């Protein structure tokens, strides 16, 4: 796993395609030697070809040696070989001091000086480029060493979402190698619906400048190579280089965070369990007290009615009174329960316009802390236009948390473990949220009593989760129900009112 992200040894990294293998330095002795050798070769070629081409191309044949000298060693080798080339035809006695020869020689000397200066400039530019290249490679090696050691996973993408760099921790976290993901769209690291929506997020940010995650940090869901998902904390920074945009994401795995956090969570939920039991004990005795009266009255009236029915010819008129009174008492008992539920629901009710997708995203991330998330494949499908609901955030998160945890628990031994959370608009514009699992599902007998308090099939269950969910959803003016997941499993659905924007 680590091999592709390990930095390559420095010797390998420094070899650059731009480097001339030898002598590309100002005044290198090799440059003098090579250019003089080239000039001698040109002169000997000229001597052999002289019967064919005459004296006119002596200087033409010498031009390449000036080029070689200035390209390899800059100005001085070029000038020296120019002087050598200009003098040699006279030294060898090929030419005399005739005016045309002198003009030809002067022209060659001028050309040689020009070539030498241009070669010198090119050589210096080449040296500067090499130094710059060397510096870039050093910086890259430095950056790579940071990428390899930074404890958070780090991913750099461009404005099109294409991954530019992928740290060793990121490779471990997402179970993918850097070679595999660099050059691909970053959406390959997220489950649906983010997988398809991510390009849109970047485009929207670039167009509107509205920051939803940059500089803020959020809890989101990531996807490993095998399709399993996990909660992660994501912070994003932005870099502008000229007209290009780059985004750097720092990812912290919340499942890996610390075993202590999971333990803490467990302790906390045990505490909640105990305090719920106490609260329920109190609630139960209050209920028993309140309901005792109407229930015993109902029993008495019905017993009287029974006695009347025992007569050979029952007096229907006299029966009417105890039955009516029993009905009234039953309604009173119902009233007591309704008042109690209203009391529970309105306890700390703080409703505002909330983003439904954010509510789901956060609940999902919270529900997955401490759960072996690679056991379950999670999908969210966004279909509620406008996305805003009018809700008490904490209470709706409690509902989602209950439903998600129930679904994950129900799928523990199932061969297929897929959790889908979807939203859509209901008939009257309300938001409908569905939490669908592929567990064993719910039998028709159980389905009827599911939302009643103390209804549980679990050894350690209390059977209050769903009844609390119903109380919360009722208080929001919505409805909660259960359906069968197509293909097997249970789907819990609830509706809540849309936010002010969507209502309009
Ligand atoms: P608890 O989880 O404490 O049992 P709940 O009110 O949350 O209490 O759930 C009541 C019962 O409903 C559970 O014991 C279980 O039998 C059933 N149930 C809830 N959710 C599911 C589900 N997704 N699949 C199958 N059964 C479920």
Placement of tokens 């052999």 in the chain: 48
Q: How many CA atoms lie within 13 A of 110 on its CB side?
A: 6
pLDDT(19) > 50: no
**Phi, psi (deg, nearest 5) at residue 105:** -65, -40
Continuous H helices in 311-373:
316-346, 356-368
Placement of tokens 């080029």 in the chain: 67
Is the residue at 101 inside a domain? yes
Per this entry, what is the length of the chain?
Answer: 504
Is the residue at 2 inside a domain? no
DSSP 8-state symbol, 256: T
What pLDDT score was predicted for residue 17? 42
Same domain, 320 and 239: no
Residue 331 is encoded by which pair of tokens? 């309604």
Q: Does ligand 1 come within 6 angstroms of the Cβ of 456? A: yes
Residue 332 is encoded by which pair of tokens? 């009173």
| 126-138 mean pLDDT | 90
CA 154–ligand 1 middle distance (angstroms):
39
The number of the ligand 1 atom at minimal distance from the alpha carbon of 466 is 6
The count of structural domains within the chain is 4
Q: Which of 410, 414, 418, 408 is nearest to 378 (CA)?
A: 418
What pLDDT score was predicted for residue 503? 46
Relative orientation angle of helices 393-410 and 356-368, to the nearest 10 degrees: 50
Same domain, 457 and 315: no
Check which CATH number belongs to the domain holding 170 and give it: 3.30.450.20
Ligand 1 pocket test, candidate residues 456, 469, 489, most atoms within 8 A of CB: 456
Is beta strand 244-253 parallel, antiparallel or unpaired with respect to 153-158?
antiparallel
Same domain, 316 and 436: no
How do the residues of the chain divide into helix, strand and coil, expressed in percent and rounded to 5? 55, 15, 25
What count of other Cβ atoms lies within 10 Å of the Cβ of residue 12?
8
pLDDT(266) > 90: no
Asked if 411 contacts 376 with a C-beta cutoff of 8 angstroms, the reply is yes
Is the residue at 125 inside a domain? yes
340: helix, coil or strand? helix
Residue where a domain stops, chosen among 96, 127, 147? 147
- Measured at the CA of 181, the angle between CA 178 and CA 182, to 5 degrees, comes to 75
What pLDDT score was predicted for residue 4? 39
What pLDDT score was predicted for residue 269? 65
Which of 13-27, 208-222, 248-262, 435-449 comes out lowest in average pLDDT? Answer: 13-27
Ligand 1 pocket test, candidate residues 269, 376, 406, 482, most atoms within 8 A of CB: 406
| Cα distances (Å, whole numbers) of residue 117 to 72, 124, 162, 279, 290 | 12, 11, 45, 94, 107
Q: What percent of the chain has pLDDT over 70?
A: 83
CA-proximal residue: ligand 1, atom 11 (nearest): 456
**SS3 string of 123-167?**
HHHHHHHHHHHHHHHHHHHHHHHHHHHCCCEEEEEECCCEEEEEC
Q: Does ligand 1 come within 6 angstroms of the Cβ of 498? A: no
Same domain, 373 and 467: yes
| 212-224 mean pLDDT | 78
Residue 378 is encoded by which pair of tokens? 């999670």
CA 437–ligand 1 middle distance (angstroms):
12
CA 405–ligand 1 middle distance (angstroms):
9
Q: What is the mean pLDDT of the chain?
A: 81
What pLDDT score was predicted for residue 318? 87
Which of 8-17, 173-182, 274-283 comes out lowest in average pLDDT? Answer: 8-17
Which of 104-113, 179-188, 222-231 comes out lowest in average pLDDT? Answer: 222-231
Place 5 in a pLDDT band, splitting at 50, 70 and 90.
very low
What is d(CA 381, CA 426) in angstroms, rounded to the nearest whole number?
15
Residue 129 is encoded by which pair of tokens? 């480029």
Q: Does ligand 1 come within 6 angstroms of the Cβ of 436? A: no
Which residues pair with residue 495 across a beta bridge?
Answer: 432
Same domain, 56 and 175: no
pLDDT(275) > 70: no
Place 13 in a pLDDT band, splitting at 50, 70 and 90.
very low
Which domain covers residue 323, as residue numbers?
A: 259-345
Same domain, 315 and 382: no
Is the residue at 3 inside a domain? no
Place 72 in a pLDDT band, splitting at 50, 70 and 90.
confident
**SS3 string of 196-234?**
HHHHHHHHHHHHHCCCCCECCCEEEEEECCCCCEEEEEE
Which of 113-122, 201-210, 232-241, 265-274 comes out lowest in average pLDDT? Answer: 265-274
| 104-122 mean pLDDT | 91
**Torsion angle of C-alpha atoms 40, 43, 45, 46, degrees rounded to 10:** 180
What pLDDT score was predicted for residue 21? 45
Same domain, 46 and 98: yes
What pLDDT score was predicted for residue 256? 58
What is d(CA 290, CA 428) in angstroms, rounded to the nearest whole number?
38
pTM for the structure as a whole:
0.47
What is d(CA 284, CA 453) in angstroms, rounded to the nearest whole number?
11
What is d(CA 323, CA 300) in angstroms, rounded to the nearest whole number?
10
Is the residue at 214 inside a domain? yes
Residue where a domain stops, chosen among 112, 147, 182? 147
Q: How many CA atoms lie within 13 A of 65 on its CB side?
A: 29
Q: Does ligand 1 come within 6 angstroms of the Cβ of 220? A: no
Residue where a domain stops, chosen among 147, 169, 191? 147
Same domain, 143 and 279: no
Which of 152-161, 246-255, 279-288, 482-491 comes out lowest in average pLDDT? Answer: 279-288
pLDDT(344) > 70: no
Indicate the helix (H) or strand (E) that contains 240.
strand 229-241
Relative orientation angle of helices 465-475 and 316-346, to the nearest 10 degrees: 90
pLDDT(117) > 60: yes
| 60-72 mean pLDDT | 90
* For the ranges 276-280, 282-286, 439-443, the one whose mean pLDDT is highest: 439-443
CA 463–ligand 1 middle distance (angstroms):
7
407-459 pLDDT per residue, tens: 988 998 888 889 999 999 999 999 999 999 999 999 888 887 888 877 777 77
What is d(CA 454, CA 468) in angstroms, rounded to the nearest whole number?
11
What pLDDT score was predicted for residue 271? 62
Burial 390-405, CB ≥16 within 10 A → b, else e: bbbbebbbbbbbbbbb
Place 460 in a pLDDT band, splitting at 50, 70 and 90.
low
What pLDDT score was predicted for residue 24? 61
Asked if 377 contacts 227 with a C-beta cutoff of 8 angstroms, the reply is yes
Check which CATH number belongs to the domain holding 490 and give it: 3.30.565.10
**Phi, psi (deg, nearest 5) at residue 254:** -80, -20
Same domain, 156 and 77: no
Is the residue at 23 inside a domain? yes
Q: What is the chain's alpha carbon radius of gyration, rounded to the nearest angstrom? A: 42
CA 466–ligand 1 middle distance (angstroms):
7
Place 194 in a pLDDT band, splitting at 50, 70 and 90.
confident
Place 504 in a pLDDT band, splitting at 50, 70 and 90.
very low
CA 454–ligand 1 middle distance (angstroms):
10
Is the residue at 1 inside a domain? no
pLDDT(357) > 80: yes
Residues 6 or more apart in contact with residue 501 via CB below 8 angstroms: 353, 386, 388
> CA 442, 443, 448, 450 torsion: positive or negative?
negative
What count of other Cβ atoms lies within 10 Å of the Cβ of residue 349?
13
Residues 6 or more apart in contact with residue 345 via CB below 8 angstroms: 471, 472, 474, 475
Same domain, 210 and 325: no
Is the residue at 284 inside a domain? yes
Same domain, 387 and 292: no
Measured between its terminal Cα atoms, the distance across the chain in Å is 53
- CA 110 and chain centroid, separation: 65
Q: Which of 488, 255, 265 is nearest to 373 (CA)?
A: 255
Placement of tokens 């050309």 in the chain: 111
| 305-316 mean pLDDT | 87
Same domain, 155 and 142: no
């Amino acid at each position: 796993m680590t091999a592709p992200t390990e930095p390559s040894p420095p010797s390998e990294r420094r070899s650059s395609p731009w480097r001339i293998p030898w002598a590309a330095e100002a005044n290198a002795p090799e440059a003098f030697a090579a250019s003089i050798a080239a000039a001698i070769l040109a002169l000997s070629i000229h001597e052999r070809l002289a019967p064919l081409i005459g004296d006119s191309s002596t200087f033409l044949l010498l031009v390449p040696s000036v080029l070689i000298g200035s390209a390899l060693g800059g100005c001085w080798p070029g000038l020296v070989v120019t002087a050598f080339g200009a003098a040699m035809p006279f030294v060898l006695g090929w030419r005399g001091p005739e005016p045309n020869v002198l003009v030809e020689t002067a022209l060659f000397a001028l050309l040689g000086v020009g070539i030498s200066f241009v070669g010198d400039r090119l050589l210096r530019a080449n040296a500067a480029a090499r130094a710059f290249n060397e510096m870039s490679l050093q910086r890259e090696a430095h950056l790579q060493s940071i990428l390899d050691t930074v404890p958070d996973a780090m991913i750099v993408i461009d404005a099109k979402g294409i991954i530019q760099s992928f740290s060793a921790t990121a490779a471990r976290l997402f179970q993918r190698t850097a070679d595999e993901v660099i050059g691909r769209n970053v959406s390959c690291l997220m489950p649906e619906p983010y997988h398809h929506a991510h390009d849109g997020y970047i485009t929207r940010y670039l167009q509107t400048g509205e920051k939803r995650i940059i500089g803020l940090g959020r809890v989101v869901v990531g996807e490993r190579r095998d399709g399993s998902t996990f909660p992660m904390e994501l912070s994003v920074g932005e870099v502008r280089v000229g007209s290009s945009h780059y985004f750097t994401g720092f990812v912290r795995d919340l499942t890996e965070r610390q075993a202590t956090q999971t333990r803490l969570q467990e302790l906390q939920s045990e505490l909640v369990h105990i305090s719920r039991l106490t609260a329920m004990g109190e609630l139960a005795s209050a209920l028993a007290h309140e309901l005792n009266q109407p229930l015993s009255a109902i029993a008495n009236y019905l017993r009287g009615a029974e006695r009347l029915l025992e007569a050979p010819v029952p007096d229907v008129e006299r029966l009417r009174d105890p039955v009516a009174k029993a009905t009234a008492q039953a309604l009173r008992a119902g009233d007591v329960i309704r008042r109690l539920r209203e009391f529970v629901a309105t306890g700390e009710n703080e409703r505002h316009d909330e983003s439904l997708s954010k509510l789901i995203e956060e609940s999902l991330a919270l529900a997955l802390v401490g759960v072996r998330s690679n056991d379950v494949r999670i999908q969210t499908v966004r279909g509620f236009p406008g996305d805003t609901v009018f809700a008490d955030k904490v209470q709706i998160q409690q509902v989602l948390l209950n439903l998600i945890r129930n679904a994950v628990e129900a799928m523990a031994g199932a061969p297929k473990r897929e959790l889908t959370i979807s939203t859509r608009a209901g008939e009257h514009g309300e938001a409908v949220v569905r939490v669908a699992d592929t567990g064993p599902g719910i039998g028709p007998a159980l389905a009827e009593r599911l939302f009643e308090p103390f209804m549980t099939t679990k050894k350690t269950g209390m059977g209050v989760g769903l009844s609390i969910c119903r109380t919360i959803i009722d208080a929001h003016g919505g409805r909660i129900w259960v359906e069968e997941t197509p293909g097997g499993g249970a789907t819990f659905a609830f509706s809540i009112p849309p936010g002010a924007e969507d209502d309009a």
